[in-house]
Structure 1
C-alpha cells in the first residue's frame, strides 16, 4: 500500500495557470525643465508678473478709450458741456414742470432763459469794453512808455536799438512778408475752428434741450443695455453720482458768482477799466479749481498795473488774495464739501490730465467727472457691503446655533 500523503486534486486547467505574483507598487515622477524653472522663480516675482500684465491690459484699454474720445472730440466735448449745464439747470426745469407747465415747454423756457442771461452778460461786457476802449488804450500807451523808460535806464544794459519804433516797424513788416504762407494757413485753420465751434454750440444746445426734456428716459435706455442683474445697482449708483454732480455744479456756480462780485467791487473801488469784463473772467475761471482762480487773478492784477499803476495793482492783488481766502476757507468747505469731498491732489491731477486730453474744456469737465465717478464707485461698494451684511444676517437667522460659542 502506498504511504505517500494525499495531495489535493487540481482542476482540469490549473496546471496551465501561471503562479500568482503580488503587485509591486511603484511611483513614477515626471519632471520637466518648465516645472523646475517655475519652482526657481520667487513667489513675489510671480505676483508682480500677474499684476503687471493686468495693469498693462487696463492701461491699453484706457488708452484706447482716450483715443476714441479724442477722435470724436467734436461731439464728445459739446455733449460733456451739455451734461454740466443740465446738472445746473435741471432743477429749474423740474420746478417749472411742477408748477403745471408741460415738460417740453419747461425745458424750452429754461434753455431760452439761460441763453438770454448769457447774451445779456456778453452784451454788458462788450459795451463796457467798447465804452472804455479809448481810455484804456491811452492808459496802456502811457504804461508801456513808462515801462520802456524804466528798461532804458535799468542796469540790464539794454541797447537803445531795441526801443527804436521805426526799427520795430521794419522788423514786423519783414516778418509779415516772410510769413505769408504761415499766416494764410493759420487763417484757414481759424476759419475751420470757427465752423467747428459753431457746430459744437448747436450740438450742445440740442443735447441740453433733450437732457432737460427727457434726461431720465435717455438714461433708462442706457441702463437697459446692461445685464439685468446689474441694472438696479447701476441705476442707484448713477442716481447718487448725478446728485453729487448736480450739487457740485450748483455749488461751483455760487462760489464763482461770489468771487466775481468780490473782484468787481475791488475793481470798481480802484476805478479800473474793464471791471465787468474782469469780473466775468474771474467767474469763468472759478469753474477750474486751483488753476482758474490764479490765472484770472493774474490778468486782473496785470490790467491794474498797466492801466493805473503799481500801487493799485498791489491793492488789486490783496483784494484777490482776500477773495480766494474766503473761497478756500469758507465757501468751498461749506458748499462743495456737502456735494462731494475731493482731495486737492486728486483735483490737481484730474485738471492736468484734462488739459492734456482736451485742453481748457478738459480742465473744465475733469473735476465734475471725478466727482461723479467717486460717488458712483462709493455707492456700488455700499450696496455690496449691505448685501453681504443682509446675507450674513439671513444665515444667522436660519441657523442660530452657528453663532453660539463651541
Structure 2
C-alpha cells in the first residue's frame, strides 16, 4: 500500500472516531435546535365558522280562538268527505256502465288465467295474435264441454232426486199420523194443498204484467249477450296487447310517475295471475275431494254439486260455505240424515285443508290478505254487485294492495322547484 493510501485510511478512521464522539454529537444537536428555533412559524389552522342556527318562526296566534286539535280534525274530516264523494261517484258511474265495466273486470280475470299459455306459445315462435286466438278458442271449447257434461248429469239426476223427495214426504206423512202428533189424513192433505197453492201463486206470473215481464226478460237477455261478446273481444286484446294498453294509459300521467306506475302495474298483474292460478287449483282440489265423496256415498246430483263447489271456490269463504250447505241439504233430502252428517264432515274436512294448507301454501305472500279484509270485501261486493260483485271483490283488493305496496316501497319522485329568484331559461 502506498503512502497516499495509508494517509486516506487514517483520515477515515479519525473522521469515524470524531462522529462517534459524544461532544461532537451534542454540538450537532444544539445546531439543529438553533435551526428549528429560527425557522418561520406556520399559522395554526383556522376552523370554519359554525353556521348560525336560524330560529323557526313562531306560529302567529289565532284570533278566532279555535283549538289546533279541532283544526286538524276538521282538515281530516273534509278531506275524508271529498275522498268518499269521489269513491261514491266512481261507483255510481260503474253502476251506470255495468254492461261495460263487469265484462271488463271478468276479462281481466280470464286474461290473467290464459296469459301464461299465450306467453308459452309466443316462446315457441307462434305469432301473438294467433296464440291469443288459439288459447281463447281452446278455452271456450273446454268450458262448453264441461258445461254440457254437467247439464247432462243434472238432467239424469233430477228424476232420482224427485223420487227421493217424494219418499221423504211420504215418510214425514207417516210419521205425522203414527208419531206423537197423531194427525188425521185430512189435516195433512190440507197442509200440503195450502203449501202447493202458495208455491204456485209465488211462481206463477201475473197476467197483467206479462208484457212488462217479457220486455224485462228481453232486456236481460240482450245485456247478457252483449256482455258475453265484450268478454270475448276484450279478453282477446288483453292477451295480445295487454302491456301496450297499460303503457299507453300510464303515459298519460306526469313524466315522473311513469316508471313507478309501470312497476306498480307489473306487481299488480303478477298478483292477479298468482291469485287466479291459486284459486283455480284450490277449486279443482275442493271439487275433486267433495265430488269423489258424494259419488262414493251415492248422493244424487254428485257431479253438478262438484261443479257448484268448483264455481263457488272463486268467492272465498262465503262460496265454500254456501256450496257445502247445498251439498248437505241435497244429501239430507236425497238419502237420510246419516249420509248428510257424513257429507257435512267431508265438507268441513276439505274446507279445513283449504284454509290451513292450500291457501297459505299456494297464495303465499303475493296475495296475503287478512281474512277480515276478505270477508268485508266479499260482503261489500255482494251488496254492490250481487254475485258478480262478490266474485271480483277479492281480486280487486289484492291488486290494489299489491300496487300500493309497490308505490310505498318506492314512492313517486317529487319534482324539485327552482330556488327563489332564479330565472328559468
Question: TM-score interval w.r.t. the shorter chain?
Answer: 0.7 to 0.9
Quote the Cα distance in structure 2 between the aligned partners of 1:116 and 1:338.
Answer: 34
**Kept in 1: contact 2:173–2:188 (CA 8 A):** no
Q: 1:158 to 1:376 in 2, by over 3 A?
A: farther
Flag the structure with larger Rg. 2
Match of 2:301 in 1: 274
Deviations 1:175-232 (A, max 9, x none): 7789323565344323321221121111101100111111111111111111111011
Shift of 1:307: 0.5
Q: In the TM superposition, what is the alpha-carbon distance from 1:57 to its structure 2 partner?
A: 0.6
Deviates more, 1:365-374 or 1:330-339: 330-339
- For the Cα contact (< 8 Å) 1:144–1:306, is it kept in 2? no
2:48 paired residue number: none
1:120 & 1:354 partners in 2: Cα distance? 30
CA RMSD of aligned residues (A): 2.6
Query: How does 1:134-149 map onto structure 2 within 5 Å?
Result: 134-149=159-174
Q: Which residue of 1 aligns with 2:35?
A: none
Instruction: Give 2:151's match in structure 1, choosing from 116, 121, 126.
Output: 126
Moved more, 203-212 or 348-357: 348-357
1:54 maps to which of 76, 79, 90: 79
Structure 2 equivalent of residue 310 of structure 1: 337
- Determine if contact 2:107/2:234 at 8 Å carries over to the other structure: yes
Q: In structure 1, the residue corresponding to 2:298 is in which secondary structure?
A: coil
Quote the residue 1:231 is aligned against: 258
Cα 1:76–1:300, aligned 2, differ >3 Å: closer, same or farther? same
2:280 maps to 1:262: no
Describe the SS at the equivalent of 1:132: helix
Paired with 2:159 and 2:204, the residues of 1 have a C-alpha distance of 30
Q: 1:155 to 1:113 in 2, by over 3 A?
A: same
Task: Choose which of 359, 369, 372 in structure 2 pairs with 1:332.
Answer: 359
Q: How far apart are the structure 2 equivalents of 1:203 and 1:321?
A: 38
Q: 1:298 & 1:177 partners in 2: Cα distance? A: 28
Residue 29 of structure 2: aligned partner: none
CA apart distance, 1:168: 5.0
2:142 equivalent to 1:113:
no
**Structure 2 counterparts to residues 171-320 of structure 1, below 5 A:** 179-182=206-209, 185-320=212-347
The CA deviation at 1:339 is 2.8
Cα distance in 2 between the residues matched to 1:182 and 1:150? 42
Superimposed CA distance per residue, residues 17-55 of structure 1 (whole angstroms, 9 cap, x where no aligned partner): xxxxxxxxxxxxxxxxx964x22x222211111111111
Alignment partners' CA distance in 1, 2:229 and 2:117? 22
Counterparts of 1:192 and 1:150 in 2: how far apart (Å)? 48
Task: For residue 138 of structure 1, report the CA deviation from its aligned partner.
Answer: 0.8
Alignment match of 1:96 (pick from 113, 121, 136):
121
C-alpha offsets along residues 74-127 of structure 1, whole Å, 9 cap, x if unaligned?
A: 110011000001111100111011112111110011101111111111111111
* Structure 1, 127-136 or 272-281: larger mean CA deviation: 127-136
How many angstroms apart in 2 are the aligned matches of 1:327 and 1:88? 20
Of 95, 108, 114, which residue of structure 2 is paired with 1:70?
95
**1:171 and 1:102, CA in 2 relative to 1: closer, same or farther beyond 3 A?**
closer
Q: CA deviation at 1:163?
A: 3.9
CA distance in 1, matches of 2:203, 2:303: 35
Which has the larger displacement, 336-345 or 292-301?
Answer: 336-345
Aligned equivalents of 2:382 and 2:260: distance in 1? 32
Give unpaired runs (5+ residues) of structure 1.
1-33, 389-406
- Say whether the 8 Å CA contact 1:148–1:163 is kept in structure 2: no
Q: Which residue of 2 aligns with 1:4?
A: none
Change (3 A) 1:147 1:291: farther
Q: 1:168 to 1:344 in 2, by over 3 A?
A: closer
Q: Distance in 2 between matches of 1:158 and 1:229?
A: 83
Aligned to 2:379: 352
* 1:260-300 deviation digits (Å, cap 9, x = unpaired): 00011110110112111001100010100110000011011
